Structure 1
Amino acid sequence: MPSDKWKKFAPETVQLIFTAVEEDDIVNEQTSLPQSIDLQCSQENIQNYYALCLQFWQEGFTRLELQGLVHKVLKGGELSATERMQYKYIRSRYKHLRFAQRLYSKKHESSLFFRQTTVVLGHFQDAFRNGNKDAIRFYGNILRIYLSLPVWIRVHYALRHTRLDSENGFIVYRQEQMRALRALIAKPQLTGREFHSVRKFISQQVSYYDTLRSIDPSNQDAYKISRFLANINGLMGDRHDEMVADKLAGRKAYDEPALLDINIRQRLELFLARYPM
């Protein structure tokens, strides 16, 4: 799709996706799934979903704003509560667009520099949260390169010239993802890496329904699925925090196999049972 043909949405729609992304990991027991999940998605909708995700990223911050936050931490400064929230929101926009590239693009993968920037933003956030000066220096200097003007221009070009998948290709990709998820949770125990893989599958799915419900606010099924998956995401996030704490305290290795919490497993199994394979 030509770079100048991406649809632009009203500010109200962009605000809706911001709200949806903010709810991505909120645990809410009052969630339910529709009896069936419709996988059909027109080519126009695939284009619109990617366009909204791109706009959500483009309009959320400037390169200089993000550079300023990174440079402040690199110089030994501490981000204020407002600046930490600003950094969190920027990273959320990166993650949402990375999921969009995986979902809607022909290759179902994120472009190299954009993907790497998203990953390093997470490592840098962990570093300054924990006061790890070596990690701050290491990842901060990588971000200085990724946020330099030549790389920034290249990233923008790749994002605007992403080739999107067909209707059928999009359905097949999602079904493959869910079959892989089903194979993972068929195991009685999961390693830390497998647990992380399960969470990535769910995060990607919730990003899709967040976008769908933002473009079509009247779609109650999309809203229900979004909130149901966000609940799983939140439960898995809480469990992940426990796993990291156990690792840091020396109580249990992160990758040691463990039973999947029954509250998480039951919700995953229900979702897969209603997902057309």
Structure 2
Amino acid sequence: MINLEKPRYDHVFLDQLFQNILEDDISSPGARYPGGNYFQYPEDLSVSGYRICWQLLNDGVNIKNFRFLVLNILLKGGTESVKQRQNFKYVRARFKHLRFACANFDRRHRYPWSLNLVTSLMGHMQDAFKNRQIARTRIFGTILFLTILPAFYALVRFQMRSFLPDSNKNMIAYHQRENAKIDSIVRKEKITAQDFHDLRKIISRRVAFNDTFRVLHSSHYLDKISLYLADINGEMGDYHDRLVEKNISTPGSYKENIFILEKKLINKIIHLIR
């Protein structure tokens, strides 16, 4: 099993990675995709990429404190506290980033089911209390609380540590397969909410990959790619929020909704995969 605790990354690297994550959905209308070939992957990218993401979560999350936060919010059926909302958001951001790291850097290129469950529940609970849905906050909060109790969380920890490194060749092939999925979706005249959900997840994984890559190997080229990706991610996040709001007013509408993506956004996405 790969040693994920050593070598240790300095807090400067971990802080920069977290800052990248917090900025990865900020729209930059003037962002342009840089010309030239993509930055060459260093040989150790799979291991070093996963290791720094693992340390970001391991060092930055006190699961006992988070357990009390979840319990507090679910018992009240929500929270208006800016500090509580921010703490929840920051924990979820670290979990999401490690989940993306599993898809990006592990040779299986998939989410461990227990980590995916916990991270997804965080998202459902956060959507619920942001939209002041008391019942849903309590339902998802209760399930989330159970999954972060010591017994189940031991399984989550085990799966997070069970990392299998990948080769650069296979990582590139994985990104090419993801690009093909993107292409098949954006070529449709109209897309379903499920298509949009799948597309957004792929873009989010690519954003997370680049956020990690540019911390390990500083480059103005990679910084420009991140601005471009963040612009796309921000626009898609706005779409997502509107879909969630519509689903609240009309239950079931999220899955049934069919819509046309703005041509400008489609062109940005197509340029990304060409």
TM-score (norm 2): 0.92
On the 8 A contact 2:27/2:231 being kept in 1, the answer is yes
Question: In the TM superposition, what is the alpha-carbon distance from 1:10 to its structure 2 partner?
Answer: 0.7
Q: Which runs of 5+ in 1 are unaligned?
A: none
Find the aligned partners of 2:114 and 2:251 in 1 and give their Cα distance: 37
Query: Deviation per CA, 1:7-49, whole angstroms, max 9, x where unpaired?
Result: 3211111111111111111011121112134264234121111
Aligned match of 1:58: 58
- Correspondence 1:112-123 to 2 at 5 A: 112-123=113-124
Find the aligned partners of 1:132 and 1:252 in 2 and give their Cα distance: 16
Seen in structure 2, the aligned counterparts of structure 1 residues 4 and 27 have a Cα distance that, compared at 3 Å, is closer
Question: In the TM superposition, what is the alpha-carbon distance from 1:104 to its structure 2 partner?
Answer: 0.9
Aligned match of 1:158: 159
Secondary structure of 1:3's aligned partner? coil
Question: In the TM superposition, what is the alpha-carbon distance from 1:175 to its structure 2 partner?
Answer: 0.6
Query: Deviation per CA, 1:233-254, whole angstroms, max 9, x where unpaired?
Result: 0011112222333444459943
Find the aligned partners of 2:222 and 2:185 in 1 and give their Cα distance: 25
Q: Which runs of 5+ in 2 are unaligned?
A: none
Aligned match of 1:136: 137
Aligned match of 1:258: 259
Aligned match of 2:18: 18
TM-score (norm 1): 0.91
Question: In the TM superposition, what is the alpha-carbon distance from 1:212 to its structure 2 partner?
Answer: 1.0
Seen in structure 2, the aligned counterparts of structure 1 residues 223 and 4 have a Cα distance that, compared at 3 Å, is closer
Find the aligned partners of 1:250 and 1:83 in 2 and give their Cα distance: 29
Aligned match of 1:197: 198
Calculate percent identity across the aligned residue pairs.
28
Please give the root-mean-square deviation of Cα atoms over the aligned residues, in Å.
2.0
- Correspondence 1:54-133 to 2 at 5 A: 54-76=54-76, 78=79, 80-133=81-134
Aligned match of 2:231: 231
Aligned match of 1:270: 271
On the 8 A contact 2:5/2:51 being kept in 1, the answer is no
Find the aligned partners of 1:206 and 1:70 in 2 and give their Cα distance: 28
Q: How many residues align?
A: 272
On the 8 A contact 1:74/1:140 being kept in 2, the answer is yes
Find the aligned partners of 2:247 and 2:136 in 1 and give their Cα distance: 18
Question: In the TM superposition, what is the alpha-carbon distance from 1:5 to its structure 2 partner?
Answer: 5.8
Query: Deviation per CA, 1:70-121, whole angstroms, max 9, x where unpaired?
Result: 1101221635211110100110111111000011112111212111000001
Find the aligned partners of 1:155 and 1:248 in 2 and give their Cα distance: 31
Question: In the TM superposition, what is the alpha-carbon distance from 1:207 to its structure 2 partner?
Answer: 0.5
